[in-house]
Structure 1
Amino acid sequence: MDMNMPVNVPVDDPNADTEWNDILRKHGIIPEKPPSPTPMIEEALVEARRLAHENRLEGKDLDELAELEDEEDEDFLEQYRQKRFEELATIQSTSIYNQVYPVQKPDYSRDVTEASKKAFVFVLLTSSAGTNIESKLLSEIWRELAQKYGDIKFCQMQANLCIEGYPDRNTPTVLVYKDGDIKKQIVTLQDLKGDRTAIGDLEDVLRSVGALKPNDPRLKRRDEADANLSSIRRGGSGPGVGQDDSDSDWD
């Protein structure tokens, strides 16, 4: 018998904790048993619970923080109040635009590219024919966004005046600028909701590119308004809303 020939050692379960497997591992016949994932999973869960507890006040506005005065440590609450005040102050101090800026081609570099080094700049290229429904829709939404988010610069111009020969079928087109470069472009509203696109859909775009923070208080008001509208459409739950008067005493 050739002593150098490999020996096939029967192993029922190489991962089992048995004395026989320990001997085989010691001599390198079977690989070391991989570490159990359980401790790592448990550690991750503990860390997730810790972070959730530490960040339990993230996203709450000043009114919501005031409601928690009896439940939270006052010094801890004050830290979050100060943080909210600073966020609101930043929004107020940077809200310098608040309107849609018409752009001319000779001024494009100054009004868009250079301006994007100070703030996000969203450029709307509209139909030149004036009959494009999506262009008209987005022009209306553009005005709403500009008034609501004054720390973002919203510009608008006819597509053919910006890019000679730009096809009308590609309008509306949205170009997102930041730090002198185009960060995103949207060609028509096909990837949104077409002619059913609403301001909330564009706010999601603002959030996705980083122009709005996920916990921006202005978004919170929108979410509350959407929830109220949804409640109304379902019939509501308040007194006199959605009630059936078939049992009225006047029957």
Structure 2
Amino acid sequence: MQDQREDTEWNDALRRHNIIPQKEKELTEEDIIDMVESTVQSKTEGKQMSDMTLDELNENEDDIDEEDERMFEEYRRQRLAELKAQQMKAVYGDVVEISKADYVAQVNNAGEGVWVVLHIYKDGIPLCKLVNNHLNNLARKFPATKFLRSVSTVCIPNYPDKNLPTVFVYFEGDLKKQWVGPLTFGGMNLKQDELEWLLAQAGAVQSDIEKPERPEVEDVLTKAIRQSRIDNEDDSDDD
């Protein structure tokens, strides 16, 4: 007798005419997870498992059928692992002031997989203050990156003021990128989005920000000469 579960043309024809039962679909792991989520959703006012906190998952554990308990426990372990991974990445969140004595521990020995952004600055320089303000905001936005700052005379004795501000980017203790002096930042017109884009290009932050467009700055001398030429032509026409 032919096995009705086999995939043959004869069995397919019989199934189409409802002579033999339709073949049951084999459930994959994704199907089982969907079933568990559907069960929880129906008993928790439509809230998805992926949107639940760990406390909510624990509260609704009793609503899961015994046969689905293993998949529920697996899902909860996965969520816990994801939360722990997020917490491990979000270990910074602000700009820390360091001295020369802190440099090795904070920069060279920052740790595996750690990006470090170090701002060398000096009080009284407006652009340094602007960069510090931007970095304070970016440190909160990208807590997985270690943001540091240090006064130039404290960190690097005899460091020229003309090189300020300076920003170094390190990864696992190795220097990857540096910006030295006001021209590399575009002067006081520097926007936070521009600094974020620069750090993203260096790899220091995970951002999909597009390169901000900066309006072209017309050379003041060229503009003055052009305007003077127009004025002279107007005077000649009047004569």
Could you tell me the TM-score, scaled by structure 2's length?
0.50
Q: Is 1:156 matched up with 2:149?
A: yes
> Which amino acid in 2 is paired with 1:178?
F
Q: What amino acid maps onto 1:105 in structure 2?
A: K
Paired letter, 1:101: V
C-alpha contact (below 8 Å) 1:173/1:188 kept by paired residues: yes
- Aligned partner of 2:24 in structure 1 is none
Q: Which amino acid aligns with 1:168?
A: D
RMSD value, Cα: 2.9
Find the aligned partners of 2:177 and 2:111 in 1 and give their Cα distance. Answer: 13
- Match of 1:165, SS state, is coil
In structure 1, the residue matched to 2:179 is 186
Q: CA deviation at 1:94?
A: 0.2
Q: Which amino acid aligns with 2:103?
A: Y
Q: 1:136 aligns with which of 121, 129, 139?
A: 129
TM-score (normalizing by structure 1) = 0.48
Q: Deviations over 1:110-153 (max 9, x none)?
A: 011111534100000002xx221110111111111111110000
Tell me what 2:26 maps to: none
Tell me the residue number matched to 1:198. 191
Residue 123 (structure 1) aligns with: 118
The DSSP-based 3-state class of the residue aligned with 2:184 is: coil
Contact 2:179 2:185 in 1 (8 A): no
Written as runs of structure 1 = structure 2, the 5 A alignment for 1:55-204 is 93-115=88-110, 117-127=112-122, 130-204=123-197
Letter in 1 for 2:133: E
Instruction: Pick the structure with greater CA Rg.
Output: 2
Q: Which residue of 2 aligns with 1:241?
A: none
Q: Which deviations, in whole Å up to 9, do the C-alpha atoms of 1:85-105 show, x marking residues without a partner?
A: 9xx965554011001111111
Query: How far did 1:214 drift?
Result: 5.1
Q: Percent identity?
A: 30
User: What does residue 34 of structure 1 align with?
Assistant: none
> Following TM superposition, by how much is the alpha carbon of 1:211 offset from its aligned partner in structure 2, in angstroms?
2.4
Asked whether the equivalents of residues 119 and 148 of structure 2 are also in contact (C-alpha less than 8 Å), the reply is yes
**1:187-210: CA deviation from partner (whole Å, max 9, x where unpaired):** 123123210111111111121112
Residues 98 and 150, structure 1, Cα contact 8 Å, conserved in 2:
yes
| Residues in 1 aligned to 2:99 and 2:127: alpha-carbon distance in whole angstroms | 22
Runs of 5+ consecutive residues of structure 1 not aligned to the other structure: 1-84, 227-251
1:165 deviates by 0.4
Q: Which has the higher helix share?
A: 2
Query: Structure 2, unaligned stretches of length 5 or more?
Result: 1-78, 213-239
Residues 189 and 197, structure 1, Cα contact 8 Å, conserved in 2:
no
Between the aligned partners of 1:189 and 1:183, the Cα distance in structure 2 is 19
**Superposed displacement of residue 213, structure 1:** 3.7
Q: Distance in 2 between matches of 1:192 and 1:156?
A: 17
Distance 2:150 2:204 in 1: 21
CA contact (8 A) 2:94 2:139 kept: yes
Q: Check 1:171–1:95 CA distance in 2 against 1; reply closer, same or farther (3 A cut).
A: same
Q: Please tell me whether the aligned partners of residues 173 and 187 of structure 1 are also in contact (alpha carbons under 8 angstroms).
A: yes
Aligned to 2:147, the other structure's residue is in SS state strand
Contact 2:152 2:159 in 1 (8 A): yes
1:229 matched residue in structure 2: none
